[in-house]
Amino acid sequence: MDELEQGILRLHWAAEHMPVMQALRKRFIDEKPLKGLKVGMALHTEAKTGILAIALSEAGAEIRLASCNPLSTDNSVARALKEEYGLNVYAKKGETPDEYCTNLNSVLNMAPDYVIDDGADLIAMLHTNRKDVLKNIKGANEETTTGVLRVTAMEEEGKLMFPVMAVNNAKMKYLFDNRYGTGQSTFEGWMVATNLIIAGKNLVVGGYGWCGKGVAMRAKGMGAIVTVTEVDPIKAIEAVMDGFQVKKMSEAVKTADIVFTVTGCNDVLSEEDFKNMKNGCIMGNVGHFDNEINIEDLKRMASSSRRVREHITEYTMPDGRRLNIISDGRLMNLAAGQGHPAEIMDMSFAVQALSIEYLVKHRDEMENKVYTVPNEIDRMIAETKLAVMGIETDSLTDKQKKYLGGWEAGTQ
């Protein structure tokens, strides 16, 4: 199949499985809530993101889109967005660090009114080397845990110069995208990269946040013997009560066949772990940045390395052990796989679309802070999703509402 045709079909397929976005698109076409505005986006440029970009352009915005990761672009989709939908896309799979930076700058060169970021690279640039376009920015959305941590640090230091909607922290995002999305797409990446089984393997999950929970849960379901590593004592107890072994990473790697890093922190796997690691171990990262596995340590310690499969590099240690890394430690669910399922991104990107609309409506009342997405947006998305799934729920009667709102003796 020709690349352009493939991109168009992938967009159609994603759209068909994103009913909440389809409903929003209909309303956006009628109401044009972003008319005349410029929106700069740095997200993983693949089919589901394409549907968000199309929706915002149908809402009246001028769009520029770059990838938020050098390996996560689907070239066929990038081409279809440009040639079939007339959008400005600056992304290709396998960008060099310079190309990655140039593409983000191309987005900012439009002097956007609003920014949609995944990982906060655009937002950080606007506060450092691209202050020339800062004054035009009225607000931003941030998609991911790592990005929300970054913008929160900026707010705490008093450096944040516009309001940011913490899309990641909306229930309709993290409960599904982080948990079930990462829980599934990690294993798609694994299967594409390795063509190996999960069942019966010792599998270590570094980090028990919402993403780590999803990965551990699915690994268990596929028959792996799962160990979790944590730095947070409460999350560690959660992991124990969910039925997982909890160990220090330096211990866990001694018997690990597979290690997935899912923490949002750097150096989750580093020199000490590589010294202890079992021969043949395969490591992959599903955290936003490629610093969770310290590949520089590994390169320094290894006597040689070679590409053994399209997505796998094997490092041979001086003692003969061979250690493998998927997708050079970059988000393996997007670098080797196709990212989260469309039904999941339907909800995440509905939060994005409605949060931008919210920013546009409320900008004048907002301060330079990180904002939680209003509960009504979460509820509206949940209700629409349930409706398209054909699932009905109960409603409280007036008597029940009174009971729940009461406290005096006799009302209970």
Using the rule CB under 6 A, which residue among 10, 48, 218, 247 binds ligand ADE?
A: 48
Could you tell me the smallest distance in angstroms from the CB atom of residue 11 to ligand ADE? 13
Nearest in space to 385 (alpha carbons), one of 342, 356, 355:
342
Does residue 345 interact with ligand ADE by CB under 6 A?
Answer: yes
The C-alpha atoms of residue 112 and residue 328 are separated, in whole angstroms, by 32
Interface with ligand ADE (CB under 6 A), residue from 15, 49, 184, 228: 49
Angle between helices 19-31 and 375-389 (to 10 degrees): 120
Residue type, position 290, single letter? D
Rounded to whole angstroms, the Cα distance separating 33 from 366 reads 18
- Contact flag: residue 93 with ligand ADE (CB under 6 A): no
Of 46-54, 314-322, 392-400, 404-412, which segment contacts ligand ADE by CB under 6 A?
Answer: 46-54
C-alpha 179/C-alpha 255 separation (Å) is 26
113 binds ligand ADE (CB under 6 A): no
Following DSSP, what letter does each residue of 19-84 receive, concatenated?
Answer: HHHHHHHHHHHHH-TTTT-EEEEES--SHHHHHHHHHHHHTT-EEEEE-SSTT---HHHHHHHHHT
Residues between 160 and 219 with contacts to ligand ADE, criterion CB under 6 A: 181, 185
Q: Which residue in the set 10, 17, 25, 44 belongs to the binding site for ligand ADE (CB under 6 A)?
A: 44
Please name the residue that has the structure tokens 């972003």: 34
Tell me the number of residues near ligand ADE by CB under 6 A.
14
**Contact call for residues 137 and 126 (beta carbons, < 8 A):** yes
CB 150 within 8 A of CB 122: no
Least distance to ligand ADE, CB of residue 181, Å: 6
Instruction: Say if CB 281 and CB 295 are below 8 A apart.
Output: no
As measured in angstroms, the least distance from the Cβ of 143 to ligand ADE is: 6
Of 71 and 256, nearer to ligand ADE (C-beta) is 71
- 46, 117, 188, 290: which one contacts ligand ADE (CB under 6 A)? 46
Site string for ligand ADE, 371-390 (x = CB under 6 A): --------------------
Q: Are 292 and 329 in contact (CB under 8 A)?
A: yes
Asked if 334 interacts with ligand ADE (CB under 6 A), we say: yes
Please state, as a whole number, how many other Cβ atoms lie within 10 Å of the Cβ of residue 121: 20
Phi-psi region of 195 (alpha: psi -120 to 50; beta: other; left: phi over 0): left
Out of 143, 188, 230, 346, the residue judged to bind ligand ADE by CB under 6 A: 143
CB of 277 to ligand ADE, least distance (A): 27
User: Which residue is nearest to ligand ADE, using beta carbons?
Assistant: 339
Of 58, 113, 118, 292, the residue at the interface with ligand ADE (CB under 6 A) is: 118
| Least gap, CB of 411 to ligand ADE (angstroms) | 46
Nearer to ligand ADE, 77 or 277 (CB): 77
Binding segment (CB under 6 A) for ligand ADE, from list 42-50, 233-241, 350-358, 377-385: 42-50
Nearest distance in Å: CB 177, ligand ADE = 7
Instruction: Give the C-alpha separation, 212 to 261, whole Å.
Output: 8
CB 47, min distance to ligand ADE, A: 8
- Contact predicate 209/216, CB 8 Å: no
Contact between 339 and ligand ADE by CB under 6 A: the answer reads: yes
Minimum distance from residue 295 beta carbon to ligand ADE (Å): 21
CA distances from 395 to 3, 391, 412 (A): 49, 13, 19
Residues that bind ligand ADE (CB under 6 A): 43-44, 46, 48-49, 118, 143-144, 181, 185, 334, 339-340, 345
